[in-house]
Amino acid sequence: MFKPKFIISAFTIIIFLITTPLLKNETRVLEKKILNLNLKILSKKQNLNEAQLDYHYITSPTLIEKKLSVIGFNNYQPIEYSKIFFSITDLTKIQNKISNLDNLNEKKIEKK
Amino acid sequence: MRKKSKKNNNINQTSFYFEDFLETNKKNKIFKKSSNFQDRIYLLFFFFFSLILIFSIKITHIALIKKDTFNLEKQNTQFSLLRRDIVDRNGILISRNINTYHAAVDPKLIRDKKNFLIKLRVNFPELPINEIKKNLKKNKYFRIKKRIDEVEKDRLWALGEKAIKFEPFQARMYTHGDLFSHVIGQVDYDNYGISGVEKYFDKELKDKNLKDKPLKLTLDSNIQYIINKELNSAIETFQATGGGALLINVNTGDILSLVSLPNFNINHRATISDKKYINKISKGVYELGSIFKTFTIALAIEHRLVNRNTVVKNIPKKIKCSIHEITDMKEHPKNLTVEEILVRSSNVGSAVLAKKIGEEKYKSFIKKTKLTENPEIELEEVGVPHQLKWNRCKLETISYGHGITTTPLQATALYAAMVNGGRLIVPSLIKNRKIEKKDKIISSSTSEELRGILRKVVNSKIGTASLADQDGYFVGGKTGTAESYGNKKNRINSFISIFPTYKPDYSLFIMLENPQINKNLIYNYRGVKTKAPYNTSGWNSVYVAGKIIEKIGPILAINSKEFTDQYVVEKFN
């Protein structure tokens, strides 16, 4: 009367019946966690957005110059073209050349 | 089955009484009973199967279709900003949306109105209490404070009044206040662009697919600040009524700075109807005067009528044309080279050259350059130059920039084309765009020759723009002093510079409206300390341009290999 096929299928169905709500519940919990985390991310994103806005406002040239005037500098100082370096290696090269020239001058003075 | 068994009974039945004792009937009875049992099992199975099926479908439906229970997208959109950021060419933020609130009151929910008002007065003395009182009496929902931040919201919330409601609202913030007012524009309370870039790119700025990508402009905040500051200071020094400045890359058309003064703080909403607040660079239409002589000389060289060293002999002191009399401000020698005509800024010399060029060629040049058409730029605020009527003397007057109007934007863009090898450019505010290759209006050789002449305007003793000669930047350019079209009381002193002249990268336009001579200002003019003898652009606009180039030069040149090679490395070799 109770064929194995029937028993197996019934058993499978029962297992599915039990596991489905379990899985569903677990998924619900996970989804809730994801939602909470997502909310946290969003609020952090919002804070970051506002912090960036503040940063760009505080570092805007107008405000920097106001602060500089408090310190004592009235203006941005224009950079002389001899002080513009394309890279740090250019700067060190020139510094080496200058120090070599200084050394040579010193030696010349010593000889005299 | 039953039918079959009945049929069998009828066949096998011998007598009515012995029917039950027959073996076959017994068998049939058992079979009948088992058949009933099986049917019930099937029915039960079918019932449970249907039940499971219904539940499975419901579960699948909940899992797949009914997303609203935990809809992350819905949450995201609640927080997502309605407009994209706008940044400058270095990624510095210019405008961004932030979440704020409007605080409102529902009077129906207030238990004790007196107590409510006392609480507000104590904690928020800046609020208009009398107005709130009136609104409370009306018993209708009203707003008490607009655009409040989280801190203020918490303070209001701490009052513990459930009648205070907070309406979420997105506000557009501009980090630089008035610095980019004429370019960026504004948005309304519903986050729709109403002017400037905000209006022109309204659709793009609201595009949800691009919301994480900011709109990158070609503008440079630091350069904009320096130019804005220097121009403001010049307006004060020369008591001008307004001013404008434009810095563009002559090869790409990138606008690095666009300043129009007076300006206004775009963080505050106000209706501005005064004409002095228009964008003078793109909407202002002016007669730009002697700046046009550059185009006349370029045309004469291009058509091989002259070269820069050709001597134009017997230039008269004045030319009479109909009712007009064309003269020069200063007296110049009778014979001038083409170069000298531009360097000394001779009106009569330019008129003589224009006659040589002829009306048809000049007409075709203006048509090609679209000088008298609407300017092309990503702004809604553009001016319409007056239509040219080629009557008598028009050619002569146009040759030195009178009787023709255009916007400073178009004039600077055409100037850029004159020095970049002859190729027309379209000024643009958008970084990383596709740059279309435009037609050439003059040849590379003419352009090179012109650059040489423009350098002379600045560095020769007879030039009109000596105050812009900044050491190391090879500045060239042309001054223009003119009256405003249709209003002769309005004076426009302008200067278009290019630098470095050996291979120009930038063109800077400076304009001052109605400047006056500053008697207290002492200039360092070619090594001599002097006061301004005339109210010409050479003594105000050029002076401002020189100061600006001195300050922005290092910022612009910092990534220029040519500049570094020429001025930094070579100096120590």
Q: Which of B330, B320, B294 lies closest to B414 in space, CA to CA?
A: B294
Using an 8 Å CB-CB cutoff, list chain A residues near B225.
Answer: 60-62, 65
Tokens of B476: 């060239």
Residue B545 to residue B511: CA distance in whole angstroms = 9
Contact (CB, 8 A) for B76 and B208: no
Judge: B553–A78 Cβ closer than 8 Å, yes or no.
Answer: yes
Per the confidence metrics, is the pTM higher than 0.90? no
The residues, any chain, with a CB within 8 Å of residue B8's CB and separated by 6 or more, are: B24, B28
Residue A15 to residue A25: CA distance in whole angstroms = 16
Determine which helix (DSSP H) or strand (DSSP E) holds B508, and give its type and residue range.
strand B506-513
Judge: B72–A34 Cβ closer than 8 Å, yes or no.
Answer: yes
Judge: B554–A79 Cβ closer than 8 Å, yes or no.
Answer: yes
- DSSP conformational letter for B292: G
For domain B77-216, which CATH number applies: 3.40.190.10, 3.90.1310.10, 3.40.50.720, 3.40.640.10?
Answer: 3.90.1310.10
Domain ranges of chain B: 2-62, 77-216, 224-265+280-572
Query: For chains A and B, what is the number of CB pairs under 8 angstroms?
Result: 98
Domain ranges of chain A: 1-76, 78-112
Judge: B572–A98 Cβ closer than 8 Å, yes or no.
Answer: yes
Contact (CB, 8 A) for B99 and B170: yes
Using an 8 Å CB-CB cutoff, list chain A residues near B75.
Answer: 35, 38-39, 42
SS3 of B47, please? helix
DSSP bridge partners of B336: B312
Residues of chain A with pLDDT under 70: 1-2, 73-83, 86
Residues of chain B with pLDDT under 70: 1-27, 29-31, 63, 65-79, 484-488, 557-573
Q: Point out the residue among B72, B550, B558 whose CB comes nearest to the CB of A78.
A: B550
Using an 8 Å CB-CB cutoff, list chain A residues near B567.
Answer: 81-82, 84
Residue B456 to residue B435: CA distance in whole angstroms = 32
Using an 8 Å CB-CB cutoff, list chain B residues near A76.
Answer: 226, 551
Using an 8 Å CB-CB cutoff, list chain A residues near B93.
Answer: 52-53, 56
User: What does the pLDDT read at residue B75?
Assistant: 61
Residue B565 to residue A33: CA distance in whole angstroms = 59
Contact (CB, 8 A) for B215 and B204: yes
Judge: A52–B81 Cβ closer than 8 Å, yes or no.
Answer: no
Residue to substitute from A13, A48, A81, interface B, most B β-carbons within 10 A: A81
The answer to whether A78 faces chain B, any CB pair under 8 Å, is yes
Residue to substitute from A19, A47, A53, interface B, most B β-carbons within 10 A: A53
Peptide bond into A21 cis (omega under 30): no
Judge: B226–A76 Cβ closer than 8 Å, yes or no.
Answer: yes
User: What does the pLDDT read at residue B482?
Assistant: 79
Using an 8 Å CB-CB cutoff, list chain A residues near B472.
Answer: 81
Judge: B221–A61 Cβ closer than 8 Å, yes or no.
Answer: yes
Mean residue pLDDT across chain B: 85
User: What does the pLDDT read at residue A75?
Assistant: 61
User: What does the pLDDT read at residue B20?
Assistant: 54
The answer to whether A62 faces chain B, any CB pair under 8 Å, is yes
Peptide bond into B262 cis (omega under 30): yes
Distance from CA of A48 to the nearest CA of B (A): 11
Judge: B70–A46 Cβ closer than 8 Å, yes or no.
Answer: no
| Residue in chain A lying closest to B568 (CA) | A82
Q: Which residue type occupies A55?
A: Y
User: What does the pLDDT read at residue A13?
Assistant: 87
Give me the long-range contacts of B42-51 (CB less than 8 A, separation at least 24): none
Using an 8 Å CB-CB cutoff, list chain B residues near A53.
Answer: 93, 96, 98, 173, 175
Tens digit of each residue's pLDDT (9 = 90 or more) over B329-385: 788 888 899 999 999 999 999 999 999 999 999 999 999 998 889 899 999 899 988
| Residue in chain B lying closest to A38 (CA) | B72
Q: What is the CATH number of domain B224-265+280-572?
A: 3.40.710.10
